[in-house]
Structure 1
Amino acid sequence: MTDYPVSNAAQAASSAYRLASLDQEFLLGDSTRGVRFQLEYQKAQEALRAYGVVSMLVVFGSARVRENGAGRQAFWYAEARAFGRIASLEGGALGGPPYANVVATGGGPGTMEAANRGAHEAGAPTIGFNITLPREQEPNPYTTPALTFRFHYFAMRKMHFAMHAKALVVFPGGFGTFDELFELLTLSQTGKTPRIPIVLVDQDYWRKVIDWRALRENGMVSADDLGLVEFADDGADAWAILKRAGIDAAPTVNNFPLGGT
């Protein structure tokens, strides 16, 4: 060590002297927001590639649903669980890598837990894209540990859903479910992603909470736009719709047109 006539401790302890890659205060600052965004893309992408996941069946639905919940909640939970199981058994998520049509959710409780649980019970890998929230969301215990991710940015989380989804199955939900559903509907409507099957489970619920006909009658959407969605009565019906749409076990590359640019 250099024998300076005065101490250099203040310089060595300064935040400016820290390596940038080890300086958390710097990494969490405003100027590095783009870097953090890139890291959230890259970390999940590399993990999915290493595991051999080539496509997903994305399942959305309320985090508030409970297995023994009141009203229709128990039915929704059971049907999301049933869908996760049958889609994993028949869709190509077993026997890999590569793994096709892996059930992917937001990784939390409720409908997400149910779909991951069904896939887990089938012996298939299953993905959880968790998000950091003011009231911390914990991962449910049914996602594959190596495929259990956590995001800060909603936008990057949605991008991962969009990039790999071969189909979207949406169970009843509220604001968060609407947000995720209409994000992917808009991407399909505008051609930003290839058109994929989008199935809404429990059509009584979906026709009650959204007046699809009024959207068309008032010129807000076209008849073709309304054709972007189909309705299913339960989990088995949702899987039957996907099979008719050509969803099978054949591995495919991701759907996102910007993924290679």
Structure 2
Amino acid sequence: MVEQGEDRIRDAFENKSWQEIKVTDSWQIFKIMAEFVEGFEKMAKIGPCVSIFGSARTPRDHASYKLAEDCARLLTEKGYGVISGGGPGIMEAANKGAYEAGGKSVGLNIDLPFEQFHNQYIDRDKLLEFNYFFVRKVIFTKYSQGYIVLPGGFGTMDELFEAITLVQTGKIARFPIVLVGKEYYGGIFDWIKTQMLGAGNISEGDLSLYRLVDTAEEAVEHIFRFYNKYLLKPNF
């Protein structure tokens, strides 16, 4: 991995000509296109779903793992499908909760050199494999009717703030974004309120784009109430 990274650095600093055509770069477009096509074709059939995010490193005996299971089970009981990142930890818990409740779930797995492998609670035809994070994130946002975000790391933060930004800028329709774990996320969002809002870099209304809760029941109820306003609910 280190050697590959160093090769990329050296390649970026090589002298190049505008007339130079690098075939590998051009053909990469078709690999990206293929991932989009497969993702759109499979996910277009899924119906209303909620994405559940969180750390791949969460052990099965952790409270957050149980929270993710409960969120998925409650969503299934209300007729929603579940989308996860397809891997271990919180992702596994989400697929497991849906599976054991008799609901439907899919996994959008990413090819990584460590810690990411698809979990056992996803049917093979409900598993999509991605090489590119940005393609995977497009599929998440395009086919999710809500986000439930449990404690996670950089990847979870990336997906969370991408969704908030897309909603804030009107690039996608508003949907409910719920963070489960006030103690875990409280400090970040206190900082957003005091620093970002205080400096005028976001508006007061942006603070309403997400909700902080502590329980699975609160998280799912927020999503249910959001769509109930429009008299919308999944078909069982």
Pairwise CA distance, 1:184? 0.7
Structure 1 Cα separation of the partners of residues 48 and 35 of structure 2: 19
1:249 and 2:227 correspond: no
Identity in percent: 37
The number of residue pairs the alignment matches comes to 208
- State which of 149, 160, 169 in structure 2 corresponds to 1:190: 169
Q: What residue in structure 1 maps to residue 95 of structure 2?
A: 116
TM-score, scaled to structure 2: 0.83
1:54 and 2:11 correspond: no
- Structure 2 residues not aligned, in runs of 5+: 1-22
- State which of 58, 70, 83 in structure 2 corresponds to 1:65: 58
Q: What residue in structure 1 maps to residue 121 of structure 2?
A: 142
Q: What residue in structure 1 maps to residue 109 of structure 2?
A: 130
Pairwise CA distance, 1:204? 1.8
Structure 2 Cα separation of the partners of residues 111 and 34 of structure 1: 32
Tell me, what secondary structure is at the counterpart of 1:65? coil
Tell me, what secondary structure is at the counterpart of 2:66? helix
Structure 2 Cα separation of the partners of residues 142 and 206 of structure 1: 28
- State which of 146, 155, 169 in structure 1 corresponds to 2:148: 169
Structure 2 Cα separation of the partners of residues 143 and 209 of structure 1: 32
Q: What residue in structure 1 maps to residue 11 of structure 2?
A: none
Structure 2 Cα separation of the partners of residues 250 and 67 of structure 1: 30
Pairwise CA distance, 1:249? 3.3
Structure 1 Cα separation of the partners of residues 42 and 24 of structure 2: 26
1:85 and 2:73 correspond: yes
Pairwise CA distance, 1:136? 6.0
Structure 1 Cα separation of the partners of residues 152 and 199 of structure 2: 25
Q: What residue in structure 1 maps to residue 86 of structure 2?
A: 107
On the 8 A contact 1:125/1:144 being kept in 2, the answer is no
On the 8 A contact 2:99/2:105 being kept in 1, the answer is yes
Structure 2 Cα separation of the partners of residues 35 and 125 of structure 1: 31
Pairwise CA distance, 1:56? 1.8
Structure 1 Cα separation of the partners of residues 26 and 88 of structure 2: 34
Max Rg structure: 1
Q: What residue in structure 1 maps to residue 15 of structure 2?
A: none
TM-score, scaled to structure 1: 0.76
Pairwise CA distance, 1:177? 0.6
- State which of 3, 16, 29 in structure 1 corresponds to 2:24: 29
Name the Cα RMSD after superposition.
1.6
Q: What residue in structure 2 maps to residue 15 of structure 1?
A: none
Tell me, what secondary structure is at the counterpart of 2:175? coil
Pairwise CA distance, 1:89? 1.5
Structure 1 Cα separation of the partners of residues 39 and 233 of structure 2: 23
On the 8 A contact 1:125/1:143 being kept in 2, the answer is no
Structure 2 Cα separation of the partners of residues 149 and 226 of structure 1: 33
1:75 and 2:56 correspond: no
AA partner of residue 38 (structure 2): K
Superposed CA deviations along residues 186-211 of structure 1, whole A, max 9, x for unmatched, are 10010000010000001121112442
As a proportion of its length, which structure holds more helix?
Answer: 2
Tell me, what secondary structure is at the counterpart of 2:74? helix
Pairwise CA distance, 1:212? 2.5
